[in-house]
Amino acid sequence: MKGYISGTAAITPQHTFDTGRYLEEWVDHQTSYLSATEPAYREIIDPKLLRRMSRIIKMSVASAYKAMQMAKVEIPGAVIVGTGLGCVQDTEKFLKEIIDNEEGILSPTAFIQSTHNTIAGQIALMLQCPNHNFTFSNRGHSFENALEDALLQLQEGVEHVLVGGADEITPIVHELMGSIRCVSINQEDQLSVLGEGAAFFILTKDQNEQSFAAIEDTVAFNNPLVDDVRGKVVQFLDRNELASADIDLVLMGHNGVADGFFDAMGDLMKENAIAQFKNISGESFTASAYGHHLAAVMLQKQQVFQNTLVSGKFGGSLDRILLYNHYKGVNHTLTLLSKCPS
Amino acid sequence: MSHRVFVSGYGIVSALGFGAEANLNALKQQVTGIAPPQFLKTKHCTLPVGEVKASNESLAEMAGVSDKKPVSRTVLLGLIAAREAVEKAGLDEGQLRTSGLISGTTVGGMDISEHAYQSLQKGERVDYTKSFSGHDCGHSTQAIATGLRLSGALSTISTACSSSANTIMQAARLIKAGQVERVIAGGTDALSLFTLNGFNSLKILDAELCKPFDEHRQGLNLGEGAAYLVLESEAALNARGGVAYAEVTGYGNANDAYHQTASSPEGKGAFLAIKKAFEIAGKTDLTIDYVNAHGTGTANNDLSESNALKMIFNDQVPALSSTKSYTGHTLGAAGAVEAVFSVLAILGQHVYGNYNLSLPMSDGLEPERNFRSIKIDHVLSNSFGFGGNCSSLIFSKV
């Protein structure tokens, strides 16, 4: 299963939406979680529609539109979205109304927008796109499920697919996730920092003029032991007929917190240049969507951006990037991305 | 290479009871499971719902969950139904371990987190770890996989009311593509204040027992439940000597692209989904003998679905009924609940009555009044949801 990346865009806590100035300026977040650095949406989305959209919808629609423009695709052959928590802003809003009004007369607006597939549904509605429309919400594999479905669509003969991952944070979600020890709430915590954003892609079945990178292969697995990681990586490289020396950059989802899995990966790939992406995206159920986006942009621009290289040396050219991420040690991901031959 | 996809096991929990047999008996005897809520603590104590008649404590006992933490009914219902499905299939530990699980749900652990959130709003002390860590949709899938000791690939689909129809479609696609051999697919959703008040705010709940496809239908009744199918490739099924109860021959998903919550009057998305399902089935002579409709009982859905069906079947619509006046609308579980009913219809060569129908819609269809025997080779099952999500499945006799 292979898919060509012919367009991609991402909104993250850093400046990633404007590809001309990609990660040039670094935003220092003084808050305990990383909120998205959002573009001027009015230039991208019809202001009449914009008013009713929650942030996760705005971030997703803007990223999706931009990816489609890059790929010169007007109506995608499928719309597939991964989101770990879905539309939490509207979910919270409606829950609060239920409680405040003691189940009295309620406005349905927040409820209507609260379902997980509001993002994919809104995109279909705005584009008048009648095609396959799926939403996955599967913890740290929400985006991976979506990506697997996208590649399956291409295998089934669909020309191009819009696929993305998105999650938003509210102060209450942040507080709750901190309380359940999923993320840090203060700087002393040895836990990951929560972030939010959206990353969308147009994947095409065949390489075209717009294609700049390819997803060669991807695998998602659960609950491995630290000792299993080496075997999983070797097996993955083997099935792609590659050795670790063929990888120009390893992009990992570590974030400065002690972690046996990333240590094992770092040890296995110690001869390779290793880069990180969660200092940009923060941690979330769909952080890996951004990891895939960053790998694609690096391959496109043949550039390793500031604040990403962790160890080793960038050799000057990028043909293949191996992405490795895990969420809470449970949901693991390996993806091989390559530069398109020109 | 395209592999055939067989249904080799099924399990169900709904307002009609626990297990396929109890559900079938209720459908045969034409007894509805819809009644005022006994277990959901809501101010809307007269609104009829399709509630599973058991407390969380007894569900936990049935599911074999001894956790002291509050566990969502979504997880408990899911575990009970999924366990029945794998037992029916006769999977041994090893076969189970390598199976995948694709589960659908709309609100996941909301039934627990809405209470914790309420306590939080009121400034009461809550132990967050015990409630919010099970809120997200993916949690129930992981919990069911752990309960079944399953370590294959996991996936969770959340496309509103078509969620579990889509899990069956996804499993069939993966098996057809030769990527997996065996998948447990279905869905689970518990009643919650969130969904009950949500549908109430949309003014589409019937204050009485719902009347799908009736001229004077007033809306839907919410329900809860879970259902799972074991789906296998022909090779995997033969290798272990399993039984094929039915075959998944067609599936299709399309978007209505009309409105976030309402369906287009002409049923554009529904029409496209059914058409795709026929294309996948790939047989021009495929005659549908029974349609298990989405048929929620809302003015909008039943009109839209009727129009789509009339268009697909050139006004010669096969035997048709909605079973939602028995179970209520079980949201993310509905597609799988009705998939089990479809498989049972094939096995028993019968159709279900469209309970509580008085006067069929004037410009609509003539649904079945009663449970009766007919010859069935192919069943079409529809599921439509918010976000314009329309899905259709075709089950065939083996």
pLDDT in tens, A234-275: 999 999 999 999 999 999 999 778 899 999 999 999 999 999
Q: How far apart are CA B102 and CA B138, in angstroms?
A: 10
Which candidate in B329, B350, B378, B390 is catalytic?
A: B329
Nearest CB among B158, B170, B179 relative to A137 is that of: B158
- Domain termination residue (choose one: A153, A187, A204): A204
Q: Are residues A49 and A164 in the same domain?
A: yes
The confidence score (pLDDT) of residue B70 equals: 86
- Is B388 touching A (CB cutoff 8 A)? yes
Domain ranges of chain B: 5-240, 250-396
For residue A84, list chain B residues with Cβ-Cβ distance below 8 A. 136, 138
Specify whether the CB–CB gap between B335 and B160 falls below 8 A.
Answer: no
CATH class in words for B5-240: alpha beta
Provide the CATH number for the domain around residue A242: 3.40.47.10
The confidence score (pLDDT) of residue B176 equals: 96
Q: What does the pLDDT look like over B34-44, one tens digit per residue?
A: 999 999 999 99
Nearest CB among B138, B202, B272 relative to A139 is that of: B138
Q: Are residues A111 and A229 in the same domain?
A: no
Number of domains into which chain A is organized: 2
Q: Are residues A326 and A303 in the same domain?
A: yes
Nearest CB among A111, A120, A136 relative to B198 is that of: A111
The confidence score (pLDDT) of residue B132 equals: 86
For residue B177, list chain A residues with Cβ-Cβ distance below 8 A. 152, 155-156
Q: Are residues A264 and A292 in the same domain?
A: yes
Hey, which residues 29-58 in chain B have their CB within 8 Å of chain A?
42-44
Q: Is the ipTM of this complex over 0.95?
A: yes
State how far Cα B292 lies from the chain centre: 11
| CA–CA min distance B186, chain A (Å) | 14
| CA–CA min distance B269, chain A (Å) | 7
Q: Are residues A124 and A220 in the same domain?
A: no
- Domain termination residue (choose one: A204, A237, A255): A204
Which candidate in B3, B135, B139, B294 is catalytic?
A: B294
Mean local confidence (pLDDT), A114-132? 97
The confidence score (pLDDT) of residue A188 equals: 60
Chain B residue with CA closest to A126: the answer is B257
Q: Are residues A127 and A259 in the same domain?
A: no
- Do B5-240 and B250-396 share a fold? yes
For residue A139, list chain B residues with Cβ-Cβ distance below 8 A. 136, 138-139, 142, 156
For residue A178, pLDDT beyond 90: no
The confidence score (pLDDT) of residue A190 equals: 64
Q: Are residues A198 and A234 in the same domain?
A: no
The confidence score (pLDDT) of residue B252 equals: 98
Contact assignment for B159 to A129 by CB distance below 8 Å: no
Mean local confidence (pLDDT), B260-279? 96
For residue A285, list chain B residues with Cβ-Cβ distance below 8 A. 136, 138
- Is B161 considered catalytic here? yes
Q: How far apart are CA B61 and CA B56, in angstroms?
A: 9
The confidence score (pLDDT) of residue A187 equals: 58
% of chain A with per-residue pLDDT over 90: 88
Give B204's DSSP letter: -
Task: Give the confidence band of B284 by pLDDT, cuts at 50, 70, 90.
Answer: low
- CB contacts < 8 A (A, B): 180
Contact assignment for A95 to B117 by CB distance below 8 Å: yes
Task: Give the confidence band of B125 by pLDDT, cuts at 50, 70, 90.
Answer: confident
Contact assignment for B387 to A129 by CB distance below 8 Å: no
Which candidate in B137, B161, B210, B390 is catalytic?
A: B161
For residue A220, list chain B residues with Cβ-Cβ distance below 8 A. 153
Contact assignment for A141 to B129 by CB distance below 8 Å: no
- Domain termination residue (choose one: A181, A204, A227): A204
Task: Give the confidence band of A185 by pLDDT, cuts at 50, 70, 90.
Answer: low
What's the CATH number of domain B250-396, 3.40.50.1000, 3.40.47.10, 1.10.275.10, 3.40.50.10420? Answer: 3.40.47.10
Report chain B's mean pLDDT, rounded to a whole number.
96
Chain A residue with CA closest to B141: the answer is A138
Specify whether the CB–CB gap between B14 and B190 falls below 8 A.
Answer: no
Task: Give the confidence band of A41 by pLDDT, cuts at 50, 70, 90.
Answer: very high
Give the pair of three-digit tokens for residue B28.
Answer: 């045969």
Nearest CB among A124, A179, A181 relative to B257 is that of: A124
Q: Are residues A104 and A252 in the same domain?
A: no
Q: Are residues A64 and A174 in the same domain?
A: yes
Nearest CB among A105, A136, A223 relative to B155 is that of: A136
Q: Are residues A221 and A280 in the same domain?
A: yes
Pick from A177-186, A273-282, A329-338, B50-59: least confident: A177-186
Contact assignment for A116 to B141 by CB distance below 8 Å: no
Q: Are residues A300 and A175 in the same domain?
A: no
Nearest CB among A99, A114, A141 relative to B121 is that of: A99
For residue A200, pLDDT beyond 90: yes
Q: Are residues A98 and A158 in the same domain?
A: yes
Report chain A's mean pLDDT, rounded to a whole number.
94
Mean local confidence (pLDDT), A298-314? 95
Contact assignment for A137 to B386 by CB distance below 8 Å: no
Specify whether the CB–CB gap between A62 and A199 falls below 8 A.
Answer: no
What domain range includes position A76? Answer: 3-204
For residue B286, pLDDT beyond 90: no
Q: What does the pLDDT look like over B156-195, one tens digit per residue?
A: 999 999 999 999 999 999 999 999 999 999 999 999 999 9
Task: Give the confidence band of B203 by pLDDT, cuts at 50, 70, 90.
Answer: very high
